[in-house]
Chains A and B, each alone.
Chain A
Amino acid sequence: MKKKSRFARYSFQDKALLVVGYILLGLFVVAIVIPMIYIIVASFIDPVTLQNKGITFDFSKWTLTAYERVLSNAQIWIGFKNAVIYSVVFTFVSVLITMLAAYPMSRADFRGRKFFNVIFVITMFFGGGLIPTYLLISNLKLLDSMWAIILPGAFSVWNMIIARTYYQGIPGELREAADVDGANEMVFFFRILLPVCTPIIATLSLWQFVGMWNSYFDAMIYLNDSAKQPLQLVLRSILIQNQPESGMISDMQSTAERAQLAELLKYATIIISSLPLLVMYPFFQKYFDSGVMAGSVKG
């Protein structure tokens, strides 16, 4: 007997229900994709046409001027460079410290485990708040230093719990085998345990990298020096505060021309700044589920 597809086995009512469901899902996908395509196309349109008519597929109205102007701006590149440095350093420090701390916390024989757990978990729900933290950073002389945005968030209790749960799912024989060889904790951790934790390391790294790359609050309050600002702050002045970086539009004669050009530059800025993550993330997709699963199991 030929096996029928799952859809064919549904009753008429179920089929109708499913079709409605699929249409809803389709609409959601369209609602995501259409704005993105609009932005991509709009970034190539001549500024006057864009303001009066929106996008067009009359290619005589297309231009690369927005990209030339944005990419030739030094502040954008400084922002990119800083964002890469901050995100890479933050990801490395954060994942290392979190994976390290999760190891003793995962061991049933670890003395003081309950005590340390309470110490950590309290900070998930209660904290000093904005001003006391700001005063601390200021007293530590960390204002305008990259460590002000890296250290305070480097240890994430939530990620530690996820890593701990992951360790606990690893068979105990691995450790027994290592003990026979007389390996000490460090050797066991780096040589034997970490290599079997690649999925969770990849997941946490992705979260931390994306989190740092996309945030702006800490940088806004702690970094005033424009040479130290990450990309998101540069974007903020262009996209939110309507203040294109100097030189981007200053050669235009009239205010109207400048306003039109500033609007066009926003589209190109969005594309240029979002491209790196949007291109990278599909390569990590296989780790999403494993990481989330590890997190959904209560530790």
Chain B
Amino acid sequence: MSTSTKKKDAGLHNSLVYIVQHWQLYVIFLLPALALTIIFRYIPMGGILIAFEKYNPIRGILGSEWVGFKHFSRFLSSPDFLSYLGNTLKLSVFGMLWGFPVPILLAFLLNRIESKGIKKKIQLCLYMPNFISVIVLCGIVRIFLSVTGPVNLLLGTQINFMTMPEAFRTIYIASGIWQGAGWGSIIYTAALSNASTELKEAAVIDGANIFQQIKAVEWPAIKATVIIQFIMQAGNIMSIGFEKAYALQTDLNMASSEIIATYVYKKGLLDGDYSFSTAVGLFNTVINVILLVAVNKIVAKMNDGQGL
């Protein structure tokens, strides 16, 4: 036996001894999570096969007829494809453009409030909308914007905003900021509270104005957090949530409210077109993964090799 295989055997032996000695770590601690992951995450990955088949529930995944990329080409060549892709991208890109800076701005402002009591009360208000459900939020939006609702009463008009495709994106993004910006500021507030107070005092004594203080003290304290948040949001641009878009959809605003996620649901579960729906969903997931990797690479390059 050569020395390298001996070493390998010894390594394997050590591992076995470790596993036997620490069996609890594997069986009691890790197994429940691992089992759930395999059953509910990995087994459905195998189900992706139906995207390449003419799936027949009776024949099952392995017995159905193989059709290759037919569903993908059907989706990519359909006139609706660009519309759904565009709606998805516009909703999340504009949502991020408008929404991303607001929590950071809120955190900077909160950080400048001297009275702890007032700061706490403001935070309590800012966080509150986060605890309202999607359904209730969309219900509120629908009531407020209805023809007889308070917004029209206030303006003295009778505009039905919920039926206007051109209003959908603004409604979606503005209500998202209303609900999430306060909660989103927590992570930056926490990072800012870690900024060295001595450094801050020194900057003030040196006569630095607010912009200079932000540049020298506060921005360095939150920079890493901002980058991580940016990567995570940019990488998730295609996985914009189903729940809110669906709850704000009306028959008349579909032209801008139908996104890939709602289309996948309707095609798959309402129309029963399992294979096609899975293909569309897979397309979405793959684009998302590519975006995530790309954004991570770009940010890493800009940030001296430090990505996620």
List A residues at the B interface (Cβ < 8 Å).
Answer: 5-7, 9-11, 13-14, 17-18, 21-22, 24-25, 28-29, 31-33, 35-36, 38-39, 42, 51, 53-55, 97-98, 100-101, 103-105, 107, 109-111, 116, 119-120, 123, 125-136, 151-152, 154-155, 157, 160, 184-186, 189, 210, 213-217, 221, 232, 235-236, 238-240, 263, 266-267, 269-270, 273-274, 277-278, 281-282, 285, 288-289, 292-293, 295-296, 298
Contacts and interface: CB of A to CB of B under 8 A. Distances in A.
B135 interface: yes
A131 B109 contact: no
Contact of B110 (A9, A25, A109, A293): A25
Contact of A29 (B48, B122, B133, B269): B122
Contacts of A277: 131-132
B210 A10 contact: yes
7 contacts: A35-B140, A132-B44, A135-B44, A155-B36, A274-B132, A289-B189, A292-B190
A75 to B, nearest CB: 15
Contacts of A97: 32-33, 36
Given A110-B25, A130-B264, A185-B22, A266 B50 contact: no
B269 A214 contact: no
Chain B interface size, as a band, is 35 or more
Given A123-B41, A129-B264, A239 B136 contact: yes
How would you classify the secondary structure of chain A's contact residues: helix, strand, loop or mixed? Answer: helix
B45 A132 contact: yes
B190 A9 contact: no
Given A21-B109, A39-B140, A128 B131 contact: no
Interface stretch (B93-101, B164-172, B275-283): B275-283
Interface in B129-162: 129, 131-136, 138-140, 142-144, 146, 148, 150, 153-154
A193 to B, nearest CB: 11
Contact of B125 (A7, A33, A293): A33
Given A22-B109, A239-B139, A128 B30 contact: no
B114 interface: yes
A235 B32 contact: no
* B110, B123, B281 — most chain A CB neighbours (10 Å): B281
Interface of B: 15, 18-19, 22, 24-26, 28-30, 32-34, 36-37, 39-48, 50, 105-106, 108-110, 112, 114, 120, 122-129, 131-136, 138-140, 142-144, 146, 148, 150, 153-154, 178, 181-182, 186-187, 189-191, 193, 204, 209-210, 225, 228, 242-243, 246-247, 264-265, 268-269, 274, 277-278, 281-282, 284-285, 288-289, 292, 308
Contacts of B204: 6, 9
A274 B146 CA distance: 21
A130 B143 contact: no
